[in-house]
Every structure is written in C-alpha cells, then in structure tokens.
Amino acid sequence: MNTAKTGLLLAAMTALFLAIGCMLGGEAGMALAFVIAIATNAFAYWNSDKIVLRMYGAREVDARTAPELVKLVRQLAARAELPMSKVYVVENPQSNAFATGRDPDHAAVAVTTGLMSDLSHQEIVGVLAHELAHVKNRDTLIMTVTATIAGAISLVANFALFFGNSRNNPLGIVGVILVMILAPMAAMLVQMAISRPREYCADRLGAGIYGHPLWLANTLEGLERAASQTDNLEAERNPATAHMFIVNPFHSMIRDRQFSTHPKTANRVTRLREMAGIGGQTNPANPWT
C-alpha cells in the first residue's frame, strides 16, 4: 500500500512539473520538465533525508553525547520491532520533532533542543513513539520525498515570472501567473492529502508502542501552544517541510485551518482520549518512569 502511495505521489509531482513546463515553454518546456522531474524524483528518493537534516542543522548524537535520549529511542524501537534509528538534535527553541529516511533501516529521528528542555520524560516518550510510528508505517519516505519535490516546485514557480515570458510559452503572461499561483497550491494539496491521515495513524500506533494514549494527547496540546508562541525560522524559510513535524511549526493559525498539512490538534487529542477510554492504558506496566 505504501509503495503504491509513493508511486502515486511521484506521478502527481511529475505531472505538476510537466504542467509547469508546458505552461512556460510549450512542448520543449514539457520535455525539459520531464527530464528535471525524473532527476528530482531519483535524487529525492536517495537524498531527501540528508537534505532535510542539513536544512535544519541537525547534529547526530549517540549514547555518549545524549545518553537518555538515545536510550529512549532504543527502547521504543525495540518495542516497535524496528531497527535502531539514528538520533539527531536540532538547535531550535520551538518544541517539535520529525522523522525522516527512506525506510526503517535508514531512518532518523530528530528533536529540537526546545523539546528536550521543555517537555517531561513522559511527554518525550510520547513524541518519540509517534515519530517511530511514522518510521514503522514507512511514512518517512513519502514525507521526505514530498518535502523535496514540493520545495522544488515552489522554487520553479517563484522563478516563473523571470524565465517564463518566452515565445514558446503558449499562454503568455497568463500561463506564468497561473504557474506562480497554482503550482505551489497543487503541491500543498498533495501534501495535505498524504500527511493528514498519516498523522492520525502515527498517533494511534505510537500510543500503542508505549501503552499510554493520554501521554501524547496531553503533549500535543502543549506542543501546539508552544509552536504558536515560538519561532521556527528554518521552517518558515522552508514551508514545504512543515508536514514532517509532529505539530505545525508555523505561527499562522488562520492559514492552518484552511491549508494545514496537519489535522486539527483538538481532533487528534479527541481520538487519543477515546482510545484511552475504550481500551484504558493498553500497557499498565510502566517502563518509562
């Protein structure tokens, strides 16, 4: 299923590139866009995780430099029956986290310094389990490839006004304006369609990994409040990566209601509380204290 979704994602993004090429340069533009799309897809598959980690200045940590964090990831990975992921820390005051990598054998979990300093032990467990759930579901490939290609589409759209006004442009300035407006919007809609259901799945699976749905429910509310009050400048500069975080890293809550790649936090919390109420604590024994 995830392989099919990845294929559909790549096809949709390739179609966007072809549409952009056609609008800007006719048949020649479409041919060039096809070559660029193939190269971008291949590059994104093998390197998108490295790009995202570098984009946020993430530094890898180990049992010597961050013993408690690495220990928690190792314990949760074992409970989820996953290989041990690489662990990264991002110097950022906003409490947030994301996972990346093309498969569980090449996965990485990244947390911000704000999250490490502001959250309790139980809250960090909830966040890490959610990110490892993305790894187990193989969402990280879809999320990282989407981020890379959507960013490339937005970049091309931004340059359309400078390079799209040529004799080969079948729609003239109208086509240029359409590319500038519609291409980033279309990329964002693809992100929304993929990311929102994946967040619900990761919430549920993550809660099952450590056995206490209410931990994550309470944490999500705090993370949303913190994100609305603390800047994440790297995310603001790279909006195509926003869907990778556990909560939306942007300040603008007005835009979130219409175009957010994340479900409403209140809906996520409600589902987790229903999960706790129906099944109780799925693992009463508490190894996380």
Give which of 48, 37, 43 is closest to 102, Cα–Cα: 48
Question: How far is 244 from 135, CA to CA, in rounded Å?
Answer: 12
Question: Is residue 78 very low, low, confident or very high in pLDDT (cuts 50, 70, 90)?
Answer: very high
HSE, CB side, 13 Å, CA atoms: give it for residue 121.
7
pLDDT at position 229 is: 87
Residue 286 forms part of a structural domain: no
- Biggest CA pair distance of the chain: 70
Residue 102 forms part of a structural domain: yes
* Residue 144 amino acid letter: T
pLDDT at position 107 is: 94
Residue 175 forms part of a structural domain: yes
> What's the mean pLDDT in 50-69?
95
pLDDT at position 173 is: 63
Beta pairing class for 59-61 and 86-90 = antiparallel
pLDDT at position 80 is: 95
Question: How far is 191 from 199, CA to CA, in rounded Å?
Answer: 12
Lowest mean pLDDT among 66-70, 75-79, 215-219: 215-219
pTM of the model: 0.79
Question: Is residue 281 very low, low, confident or very high in pLDDT (cuts 50, 70, 90)?
Answer: very low
Question: How far is 143 from 137, CA to CA, in rounded Å?
Answer: 11
pLDDT at position 263 is: 87
pLDDT at position 191 is: 63
pLDDT at position 283 is: 47
Write the CB contacts of 95 (distance below 8 Å, at least 6 apart in sequence).
112, 114, 115, 118, 119, 222, 223, 226, 227, 230
- Region of 112 (left: φ > 0; alpha: ψ -120 to 50; beta: rest) is beta
Flag whether pLDDT at 257 surpasses 80: no
- How distant is the alpha carbon of residue 135 from its chain centre? 12
- Read off the pLDDT of residues 125-149 as tens digits, 9 standing for 90 and up: 999 999 999 999 988 887 777 777 7
Residue span of the structural domain in which 92 resides: 2-279
Total number of residues shown for the chain: 289
Flag whether pLDDT at 209 surpasses 80: yes
> What's the mean pLDDT in 243-264?
71
pLDDT at position 202 is: 94
Rounded to 5°, the CA angle 194-195-196 comes to 105
**How many domains is the chain partitioned into structurally?**
1
CB 157 within 8 A of CB 180: yes
Flag whether pLDDT at 244 surpasses 70: yes
Question: How far is 221 from 267, CA to CA, in rounded Å?
Answer: 11
Question: Is residue 189 very low, low, confident or very high in pLDDT (cuts 50, 70, 90)?
Answer: low
Residue 202 forms part of a structural domain: yes
Residue 156 forms part of a structural domain: yes
> What's the mean pLDDT in 8-30?
72
Flag whether pLDDT at 6 surpasses 70: no
Give me the helices (H) in the chain, please: 2-55, 67-79, 113-118, 121-136, 139-163, 172-210, 213-229, 233-237, 253-259, 265-279
Task: Please return the burial class of 241, using the count of CB atoms within 10 Å of its CB with bins 0-12, 13-18 and 19+.
Answer: buried
Residue 20 forms part of a structural domain: yes
Residue 284 forms part of a structural domain: no
Residue 231 forms part of a structural domain: yes
Q: Cβ atoms within 10 A of the Cβ of 158, count?
A: 13
Residues with a catalytic annotation lie at: 131
pLDDT at position 141 is: 82
- Read off the pLDDT of residues 21-41 as tens digits, 9 standing for 90 and up: 777 666 776 777 778 777 777
Flag whether pLDDT at 288 surpasses 80: no
Q: In what order do the strands lie in the sheet with 97-100?
A: 59-61, 86-90, 108-112, 97-100
pLDDT at position 146 is: 73
